[in-house]
Amino acid sequence: MYNVLIVDDEFLARKLLQGYVEKMPELNLAGTCQNASEAFRAVQAGGIDILLLDIHLPDLNGIDFARTCKQVPAIIFTTAYSEYAVDSYTVSAVDYLLKPIVFGRFEEAIGKACRKIDGERLKAQEKQASGKEEGSPADEEGYLLVKADYRLYKINYADLLYIEGQHEYVSFYTTGKRITALYSLKSLEETLPEKQFVRVHKSYIVSIPHIRELGPQSLMLNGVRIPIGGSYREALLKRLGIQ
């Protein structure tokens, strides 16, 4: 069974795709969303295998949103605009369906998505059986690529001071600028290297090398005071080597 999320701001488009999903017994409709904000919450909740994603959304370009969905195995774009076809492959989309979408093309795209998911599941099982873990790209690179304001920013770990969560968005505070983008602290916490970054509060991840002062309920880095959540303090002290 493959869980499918439909993201489209047009009611009729959502209903058509919902009908197609319900025709295929191997698919389960996980939900429908009208914009990227709703979709972001649904994706972060987990369990989405296939994302049927419109490109023209009211709050964020669908391709930009797709770049935040690293945990979704298969993305299929559904749009009335053919000019984005090349861009869709920069986010490893499995297919690109032009509206009006006929059921035959939909079946074909779903077949590609299911094969990709099956392949990734098999690789994961083989890695688990061999006792190997897949490393994070971020751990290997020493920097983070962040998409915001229709630009791609390269943030070196050495320059990243802290990250502040703001509902569906986060702000990256570096030594030179602030960048706000559509991410979640949870996904960043799992991606960033543990030796360099630590979660200290429900709304903050900080750079360990930049910590200059540690108090009972807060810490200081680069002249900025960051609160320490009660449930995070013990883990923070352990990471700092303080017993």
pLDDT values of the chain reduced to their tens digit, one per residue, 243 residues:
899 999 999 999 999 999 999 999 999 999 999 999 999 999 989 999 999 999 989 888 888 888 888 889 999 999 887 776 666 656 778 899 999 999 999 999 999 999 989 888 877 776 666 554 443 334 444 888 888 877 888 899 999 999 999 877 899 999 989 999 888 888 898 889 888 999 999 999 999 999 999 988 999 998 899 999 999 999 898 888 775
pLDDT of residue 132: 41
- Host H or E run for residue 13: helix 11-23
Cβ count near 44 (within 10 Å): 16
Alpha helices in 103-228 (DSSP H): 103-130, 137-141, 185-191
pLDDT value of residue 78: 93
pTM greater than 0.85: no
**What domains are defined for the chain?**
2-130 (3.40.50.2300), 137-239 (2.40.50.1020)
- Cβ-Cβ contacts under 8 Å for 39 (sequence gap 6 or more): 5, 7, 33, 51, 53, 65
